[in-house]
Amino acid sequence: MKLSMLLVQRETLLRQTRLANLAFAYGKLLEFTARIARARLTGTVSLKGAAPDAGRYWASLTALEGNQSVIEEHFTDEDIMNLADVIAFTTGADDLDLTFRIEELAEKFLAPLRGDLERAGVTIDSGAQTVTEPNES
């Protein structure tokens, strides 16, 4: 491929990349909401992104109601980091620090993301039910 062709296609490629990242985020949030529903998790939680400058090297999901052990039973540190990354990406938050009811994750984050994708002309199909990491393909 020629450099000049890439430069001509740059805007289209950037748009497609953003849509692909939004689709990936949608799939990941779909997985999280399904896990939350299956486990019947409820209650207010605090989700904080990693902030190395503040000495927080991993994202945290803290139960503000109920038992923290239930959160830890259903989500690994890596799961929580992925959740924080996806939500930070979709909300544009640089310093993620949110409080919400865990059972409302789909309503709060998934529904607006779905609307953004649909407005961009993306059709949500059943293939969105599972997402693989890029290095797993």
**Which residues of the chain have a pLDDT value below 50?**
137
The answer to whether 82 and 134 have CB atoms below 8 angstroms apart is no
Measured between alpha carbons, how far is 22 from 20 in angstroms, rounded to an integer? 5
Q: Alpha helix (H) ranges present in the chain?
A: 3-39, 68-74, 77-91, 105, 111-119
pTM of the full structure: 0.83
The answer to whether 128 and 26 have CB atoms below 8 angstroms apart is yes
So what's the pLDDT on residue 43? Answer: 96
